[in-house]
Amino acid sequence: MGSVDAADLRCHRGASAYSLLPFLLTAPVTEFDPPTIAVVVVPAPLKALDYLLPDGQPVAPGCRVEVPLGPRRVVGVVWALKAGDTSALKPIGRVLDAEALLPTSLRALLEFAASYYVTPIGEVLRTALPPQARATRAPIRVATPAFRRRDDAVIDPSWLRRAPRQLAVWLALADGPRALESLKRQFGDTVSEPLRALATRGAIEACAAPLDAVSRTPIALNADQQHAVAAIVGALGGFQRFLLEGITGSGKTNVYLAAAQAALKRGQQVLMLVPEIGLTPQFLARIEAALDAPVLKLHSGLNDGERQQSWLGAAQHAAQVLIGTRSAVFAPLPNLGLILIDEEHDGSYKQRDGFRYHARDLAIKRAQLANCPIVLGSATPSLETLRAAELGAYQRLRLSLRATGAIAPEIRVLDCRALKLHEGLSPPLLTAIERVIERREHAIVFLNRRGFAPVVLCHDCGERIGCPSCDATLTWHQADARLRCHHCGYACPKIDHCPKCASLNLLTQGEGTERIEQALQRSFPGVPVVRVDRDSTARKDGLKRQLDTLKDDAPGILIGTQMLAKGHDLHRVTLAVILNVDQGLFSADFRAPERLAQLIVQVAGRAGRGDRPGHVLLQTHHPQHPLLRTLIERGYRAYADGLLSERRELGLPPYAHHALLRAEGRNEAQVLEFLNQLMSATPIAPSVRVLGPLPATLKRRADLYRWQWLLETDTRTVLRDALDALISNAAATPRGVRWFVDVDPQDLS
């Protein structure tokens, strides 16, 4: 999160921040006067700004320029040109790029995002531009991969005869597009001169590099998969939404690959979004092996240089695939032909700080702007997507069998009431793991809590050791002998006496992954136990090295957080165990049951992928819970239908729209006063249900008190109007208070 000072810049937003927008989403008024003004967006929380165009120097929208902003000179992007009164305007400093870096469809997407998420366009741009493009003043050139003759080229033979090098290149393009690399091999590096001359004359143009071959290996498709691929391929060239519902292991990836191949063959680009933890080396290798096209990667593991490279690669007109996490939805991709979203329900598509966007929702808009199909794939679609599908927004494609023929695992509840628990593990659970070990197979145990124990308690006075900056207890991490706060990062060495009564009688309470790891090691001596969570995999390649310690022909146990639930083809796993099921059943968050079912189904997909059937055990104190019964007896779809009707009755998303207006600051009274004043000073339509001010689930975090208003409406427009009104009234934020809006919040924590 930014500092309070940076947040103060938000005062610049206000209704006027959006009045300049949209430029691109609505067709511009035809301008008869030559443009004199450049509308420039700088990557900072500001609205678009007007500057005077330099005389005679052409600037294309989408190019970067240097502009004066207060006392500084900053890099911005030309958004649009217009005519008008220039008397009060400062001139553009310098034009940095010769060609547009941001294609029109991307700028239109950013505009849409700014308006939908009521965020200044500059902040949206800051998220979209890689750091180097925001900083460097050097021109950024997008490499041109290939050239072809223009269909409308009018050639004057006398001119070509006078330019023998241009003539030679012109003739070389007779049979279709040629890659720049291949032209260089034929004519030498100086081929760029005749190419430029021919392009200036309108004889040739840049285009996607021709793909040499179709594919190295044909992609295996069963009947369901063929049907799905045919539907998607048939839709290439137009906007259409698909929901690919396929149980885990049903071969969704092969459908993505075959559809991607078809788009590549058309010379188009493919954007594939994957959840953060899904982008494993295994998965990438599988994609690269199957496709005979460049595969670019954009994810959080890259350094600034690598990020810039992938981003620039995506700016080229080339037939290629870009695989990335959330922010890849903002890659340039001027030639986009297909969007694929794997595990569309995954929570990591939602950005939870700064500019709070949802990559899946923006990807749908992007597909519409690029006029291409989009495929949302999942074994457990989100309720939002299921509801939209019910309304007819999606063509549904189903994959109902495991592609390898493996049998779907059996899910059972393990009633642990009244049983003696060993560090949270019941005797029948230990027996089940023992059987797996006897068969020299692997078991996975899931627990969504890292560390050794979430609570350290004084046995004499009952004090729980809390974080000095948050309303939360500290988690004991035995591996590095520290107490850590999982909310603010605070850490301190072991405490040996109670801070309140000085007693030495301190106990650890509850279980985290470290504690289960130890318990399993004690119960199964000699069997490798691998722990997979954020702590154990912090180092690069940590996860891979850990997984490598498990051998195919020897027993093994994995214990981890949901990091383990995706991506790794753990084909020796025949038992999967979920420990804290009850947390998901009884959470205050109305989305918890949806997430729990998604986790259970995902985990079930981890078991029995190989030639042996698998089991899933849910350890619970509530074996008769109707949600668990529905999921087990009737499956995810029935469960989701049940949740949907519950949400309809309660008027919750996706049947209503939510937005949060949260304020935070060190002085709680000031925060509350700000929120109350803002709400009483803003006229809000009676159809907006306003709840609050409510404390965030974690009321104090990192020394900030956090309170919020929840806005709930039946229609988007009403919500937008209410937010616009609030934002323009919030311009005068007191010092020490910062605030933000979260449209479609995914949690209230």
Question: Of the two residues 30 and 400, which places its CB atom closer to ligand ADP in the complex?
Answer: 400
CB of 377 to ligand ADP, least distance (A): 7
254 binds, among Zn ion, ligand ADP, none (CB under 5 to 8 A by kind): ligand ADP
Question: Of the two residues 15 and 220, which places its CB atom closer to ligand ADP in the complex?
Answer: 220
487 binds, among ligand ADP, Zn ion, none (CB under 5 to 8 A by kind): Zn ion
Give me the DSSP letters along 534-570: TTTT-STTHHHHHHHTS-TTS-EEEEESGGGGSS---
CB of 470 to Zn ion, least distance (A): 3
The Cα–Cα gap between 133 and 315 comes to 12
Give me the DSSP letters along 564-602: GGSS---TTEEEEEES-HHHHHT-SSTTHHHHHHHHHHH
Contact 483, 645 (CB under 8 A): no
Q: How far is CA 419 from CA 414, 578, 743, in A?
A: 11, 17, 45
CB of 12 to ligand ADP, least distance (A): 45
CB of 253 to ligand ADP, least distance (A): 3
485 binds, among ligand ADP, Zn ion, none (CB under 5 to 8 A by kind): Zn ion
Residues that bind ligand ADP in the complex, under the rule CB under 6 A: 220-222, 225, 246, 248-254, 403-404
Question: Of the two residues 141 and 500, which places its CB atom closer to Zn ion in the complex?
Answer: 500
The Cα–Cα gap between 289 and 304 comes to 26
CB of 6 to Zn ion, least distance (A): 22
Residues that bind Zn ion in the complex, under the rule CB under 5 A: 458, 460-461, 463, 467, 469-470, 485, 487-488, 490, 498, 500-501, 503
440 φ/ψ sector (left φ>0, alpha ψ -120 to 50, else beta): left
Phi, psi of 209 (to 5 degrees): -65, 135
CB of 555 to ligand ADP, least distance (A): 23
CB of 702 to Zn ion, least distance (A): 6
The Cα–Cα gap between 283 and 278 comes to 8
222 binds, among ligand ADP, Zn ion, none (CB under 5 to 8 A by kind): ligand ADP
CB of 222 to ligand ADP, least distance (A): 4
Can you read off the two tokens belonging to residue 141?
A: 């050139």
The three-state secondary structure class of 268 is: coil
Question: Of the two residues 207 and 565, which places its CB atom closer to ligand ADP in the complex?
Answer: 565
450 binds, among Zn ion, ligand ADP, none (CB under 5 to 8 A by kind): none
Question: Of the two residues 499 and 626, which places its CB atom closer to Zn ion in the complex?
Answer: 499
250 binds, among Zn ion, ligand ADP, none (CB under 5 to 8 A by kind): ligand ADP
Question: Of the two residues 228 and 558, which places its CB atom closer to ligand ADP in the complex?
Answer: 228
CB of 254 to ligand ADP, least distance (A): 4
490 binds, among Zn ion, ligand ADP, none (CB under 5 to 8 A by kind): Zn ion
Question: Of the two residues 256 and 394, which places its CB atom closer to ligand ADP in the complex?
Answer: 256
404 binds, among Zn ion, ligand ADP, none (CB under 5 to 8 A by kind): ligand ADP
Question: Of the two residues 224 and 441, which places its CB atom closer to ligand ADP in the complex?
Answer: 224
CB of 385 to Zn ion, least distance (A): 35
What single DSSP character describes residue 422? B
Give me the DSSP letters along 490-507: -EEEPP-S-TTT--S-EE
The Cα–Cα gap between 281 and 288 comes to 10
Question: Of the two residues 503 and 549, which places its CB atom closer to Zn ion in the complex?
Answer: 503
Q: How far is CA 552 from CA 162, 488, 610, in A?
A: 70, 40, 11
Contact 745, 712 (CB under 8 A): no
What single DSSP character describes residue 401? S
Contact 14, 728 (CB under 8 A): yes
Question: Of the two residues 221 and 233, which places its CB atom closer to ligand ADP in the complex?
Answer: 221
The Cα–Cα gap between 524 and 541 comes to 27
